[in-house]
């Protein structure tokens, strides 16, 4: 999908009487103001893999370089926009659909959007990729073995899941489908500073931020 096409409606509304309004100020105009492109950096991985830590550290590094960012974090979004959703497969899908639409709007606003969601299913990650233009969705797989995530267990959730007190927990009794061709695979046991450097290099190579 080209960037031009993305200025068209993303999808048909449920009601045929709803009409799309094109507006004079475009995403390209807003990107010029920000002095960088809008893009989504989509972190996926098990609970405890390091998604929030890495997304937060990268956001700090980008912010310090004058980049306009916004971080959407799974735990936080589930306190508001998605507070009605559980961890059933259907609700996880709806969670990612809503977040994908919000991220798309933020890219349209010209922001560098960082997201930290387990997003365990390939299909729903692909769904978000399909919402965006070519190159606007960067999938970052935080590849940390389950045993390490479980040893970290900062919220005690793995312990609860193993004790049978928490159902549908990702990696225990709910699936995590590893990305087959992520844009980046990070070794989640490396130092956070090294991992952030790898991501900044990628953003420079893709001309999303200036060298």
Ligand X SMILES: Nc1ncnc2c1ncn2[C@@H]1O[C@H](COP(=O)(O)OP(=O)(O)O)[C@@H](O)[C@H]1O
Ligand Y SMILES: Nc1ncnc2c1ncn2[C@@H]1O[C@H](COP(=O)(O)OS(=O)(=O)O)[C@@H](OP(=O)(O)O)[C@H]1O
Going by the annotation, the residues of the binding site are: 45-52
Residue 49 in 3-state DSSP? coil
Please tell me the distance from the alpha carbon of residue 105 to that of residue 27, in angstroms, as a whole number. 10
Report the residue number, 186 or 208, with the smaller CB distance to ligand X.
186
Among 3, 7, 87, 127, binds ligand Y (CB under 6 A): 87
Of 9, 135, 154, 156, the one binding ligand X (CB under 6 A) is 154
Nearer to ligand X, 133 or 195 (CB): 195
By C-beta, is 133 or 199 nearer to ligand X?
199
Element (H, E) at 17: none
- Note whether 49 binds ligand X by CB under 6 A: yes
- How many H-runs (helices) and E-runs (strands) does the chain carry? 8, 5
Strand positions, DSSP E, 18-129: 39-44, 69-73, 112-116
152 binds ligand X (CB under 6 A): yes
Q: What is the footprint of ligand Y within residues 18-47 (CB under 6 A)?
A: 47
Q: CA-to-CA distance for 148 and 156, rounded, in angstroms?
A: 13
Q: What share of the chain is helix, strand, coil (3-state, %, to 5)?
A: 40, 15, 45
Q: Is 92 in the site for ligand X (CB under 6 A)?
A: no
Q: Residues 172 to 191: which contact ligand X by CB under 6 A?
A: 188, 190
Edge-first strand order for the sheet with 137-143 is: 69-73, 112-116, 39-44, 137-143, 184-187
Between residues 50 and 100, which has the closer beta carbon with respect to ligand X? 50
As annotated, the active-site residues are 119
The one among 36, 37, 52, 150 contacting ligand Y by CB under 6 A: 52
Work out how close the CB of 56 gets to ligand X at its nearest, in angstroms, rounded to a whole number.
8
């Amino acid at each position: 999908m080209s960037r031009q096409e993305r200025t068209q409606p993303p999808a048909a509304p449920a009601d045929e009487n709803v009409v799309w309004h094109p507006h004079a100020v475009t995403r390209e105009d807003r990107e010029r103001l920000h002095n960088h492109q809008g893009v989504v950096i989509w972190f996926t991985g098990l609970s405890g893999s390091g998604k929030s830590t890495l997304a937060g550290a990268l956001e700090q590094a980008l912010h310090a370089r004058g980049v306009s960012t916004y971080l959407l974090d799974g735990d936080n979004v589930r306190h508001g926009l998605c507070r009605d959703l559980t961890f059933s497969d259907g609700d996880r899908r709806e969670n990612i659909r809503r977040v994908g639409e919000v991220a798309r709007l933020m890219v349209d606003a010209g922001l560098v959007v960082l997201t930290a969601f387990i997003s365990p299913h390939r299909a729903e990650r692909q769904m978000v990729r399909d919402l965006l233009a070519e190159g606007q969705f960067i999938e970052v797989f935080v590849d940390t073995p389950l045993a390490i995530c479980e040893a970290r267990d900062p919220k005690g959730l793995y312990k609860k899941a193993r004790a049978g007190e928490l159902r549908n927990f990702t990696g225990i009794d709910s699936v995590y489908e590893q990305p087959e061709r992520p844009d980046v695979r990070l070794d989640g046991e490396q130092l956070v500073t090294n991992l952030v450097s790898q991501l900044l290099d990628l953003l420079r190579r893709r001309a999303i931020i200036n060298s």
